[in-house]
Chains A and B, each alone.
Chain A
Amino acid sequence: MLSKHSEVKWESQKLAINYFRVAIILFLANLLFGLLAAIQYMYPNFLFEIIDFSVNRTLHINALVVWLLYAMIGSVYWLLPEETGIETVGIGIGKLLFYVLTGAIAVVVLVILIVQVGAGNETTIWFINEGREYLEAPRWADIGIVVVVLGFLANVFLTAFKGTRTGILTVLMFDLLALAGLYLAGMFFTKNIAMDQFWWWWVVHLWVEATWEVYVAAVVGWGLIKTIGANRKIVEMWIWIELAMLFGSGILGLGHHYFWIGTPEYWWEIGALFSALEPVPLVGMFVHVIYDWGKQAGKKHGVSNKPAFAWFVVNTFGNFLGAGVWGFMHTLPQINIYTHGTQWTPAHGHLAFYGAYAAILIGMMYIAVQGKYGLKEMRFTAAGKWGITLLTLGVLGMTMALTIAGYQQSMIERAEFGATWQGYFAAQNSRWMLQAMGWRLAMGVVTMLGFVLLFKDLLTIGPRLKAEEAAGVTANSGAASTIAEPAQA
C-alpha cells in the first residue's frame, strides 16, 4: 500500500488509498492504547500519572471510531467511480479535506495524549477534551469534522447525480446523510446528566446499531458483486430487505439504552422487544453472503479476491455473533439491571466492533490493494492467513475473557453487594476477575501479533503477487476470473 506503483485510473481511488493508509495507522494506535490499558488492569502502577488508564482508554476507543470512519470514507471514495462510471466530482476539495481532517485528528490525539485534562470550564470543552465517552474530541474538532463530512457528502451526492446512480449508491447516500446529521445531536452542553446521556445515545447508538450497520450491508453487497460476481439485482434486493430490518429494529432499539438513565419506564418494553430483533438482520446478512457464495461456487465462478472475501465472511459471522448474540445476551432489562456498566459491555463491544466493522473495512483494504496493483486475482499469502487467524482468535479470546469478567462483576458487585463501592472492589479483586484480565491481556497480545502480520501483508502482497503474475507463476491465471470476464475454463 506504500509504494508509488499504481494502476488506479481514478483520482477518487487514489484518495481512497490515502484514507486507508491513515486508517491502518490509527488501527495500530487503537490496538496499542488498548494493550496499555489492558496492562493497567493487571499492573495498576504501569504508567500511573504518566499516561493514565483514562487517557489510554480515550485514545483506544477514539482511534477505533476514527479509523473506522476513515476506512468507511475511503471505501466510498473507492467504490464511487466504479459504481457511477465517472470521476468523483469535487475530487480536489476531497483531497484538501483529507489533509485538513488528518491534521485536525493529529492535533486532537496529541492534545489528549499530552495535555490530557483541563480546568472545569468551557475552554476545556472547546479545546482539550469534551469528556463524553466516544465523543471526547473537543468542540472545535467536532465542527471541523462536520465541515469535512459535509464536503464528503457533497462529493458523493454530486457524483451520484451526475453519473449512474445504482441501488447500492442510493442506500449509501441516504445512510451517510443520516450518519452525518446524527453527529450534531452530540454537540451541546447541559448540566442535566440524564439529558446529556439521552442525546449522547442518539449519536452512539444510532451510529453503531443503525446507520453503520446499513453502511456495512451496502458495502458487503458491493463487495460480493466485486469478489464473487454475485448478481447485482439480488444483492440490491437483499440490501433493501436488510435496511428495512436494520432500521426497523435498530431505530427504536435505542430504547435499550434508556432503561436506567432517568428516562421513563416505558422504555423497558420498547428497548427490550425492538433490540431483541436487532440480531435478525445480522443473521440475514450472514445467510446472504453464504448463500451467494454457494450459488456462485456452483457456477465455478472463482473468488477474485480471496483475502477480501475471507474478511467478508469474518464480518458477517462476527457481526452476528458479536453484535447479535453478545448484544442480545444482556439487552433485556431484567438482565441488564445487573449487567449495565460492567465488563459485559466491553465483551460485547470488542467482538461487535471487530466483527461488524473492522473486518469489512479490512476486506475493503484488500480490494483497494488489488485495484492499486491491477491484479486479476488475489490469493492468500501466509502472512494474510495468519493475520486473519490471529486477529480473529485474539478478539474471540478477549471476548471470552471479558464475558467471564462480566459474569463475575455482575454476580459479585451487583447481586451480592448491591453495586456499592465495596462491592466494586470485591469484584475487581476476585481471583476469577484477575484471571480473566490476564487472559484478556494475553489475547490482546495475540490480536496485536495478528495485526503486525496483516500490516505486513497489506504492504507487501501487492508487489509480490504482481511480480508473480508478471512471471507467470500463477499458472492457473486463465481460470482465475475477474468480474468483467466470467471464467470459461
Chain B
Amino acid sequence: MIEAFTDVFPSFFGTLNRGPMTLTIFLHTLIVLPMFFIYFSEKKKIERGEPDE
C-alpha cells in the first residue's frame, strides 16, 4: 500500500505522496477540520441568541 519513493528529491510532500491519497487527505484535513470549530462556535452564538452580522 505504501509505494516506494520514486521522485528525484525526497521531501515532506513527496513522502506523504507515497501512501494511498495520504497527501490529499492531509491537505484537505488541514483545510476542513478547523471549519468544525468555526461551525460549533457559531452554533453556540446562535443558541445564545446573538444576531448574525
Contact = CB atoms under 8 A, between A and B. Distances in A.
Contacts of A270: 13, 23-24, 27
Nearest to B15: A266
Interface string B3-39: 0001111010110110001011001100100000000
B10 to A, nearest CB: 10
A273 B16 CA distance: 15
Interface residues of A, number: 10
A485 interface: no
Nearest to A276: B24
A269 interface: yes
Contact of A273 (B8, B9, B11, B24): B24
A346 interface: no
Interface residues of B, number: 15
A49 interface: no
A264 interface: yes
A270 B27 CA distance: 9
Contact of B14 (A248, A252, A266, A274): A266
Nearest to B31: A248
A252 B27 contact: yes
Contact of B6 (A248, A265, A269, A274): A265
Contacts of A265: 6-7, 14, 17
A269 B17 contact: yes
B13 A273 contact: no
B9 A269 contact: no
Contacts of B21: 269, 273
Contacts of B24: 269-270, 273-274
A266 B27 contact: no
A308 B9 CA distance: 53
Contacts of A269: 17, 21, 23-24
A237 to B, nearest CB: 9
Contacts of A248: 31
Contacts of B31: 248
A264 B13 CA distance: 9
Nearest to A248: B31
Interface in A244-291: 248, 252, 264-266, 268-270, 273-274
Interface string A133-144: 000000000000
A299 B27 CA distance: 44
A278 to B, nearest CB: 14
Contacts of A273: 21, 24, 28
A268 B16 CA distance: 13
Nearest to A264: B7
A270 to B, nearest CB: 7
Given A248-B31, A269-B17, A264 B8 contact: yes
A268 B6 CA distance: 13
B26 to A, nearest CB: 10
Contacts of A268: 17
Interface-central residue, B7, B14, B16, B17, by most chain A CB under 10 Å:
B17
A236 to B, nearest CB: 9
B52 to A, nearest CB: 9
Given A248-B31, A264-B11, 17 more contacts: A264-B7, A264-B13, A264-B14, A265-B6, A265-B7, A265-B14, A265-B17, A266-B7, A266-B11, A266-B16, A268-B17, A269-B21, A269-B23, A269-B24, A270-B24, A273-B24, A274-B27
5 contacts: A264-B13, A265-B14, A266-B14, A266-B16, A269-B23
Interface of B: 6-9, 11, 13-14, 16-17, 21, 23-24, 27-28, 31
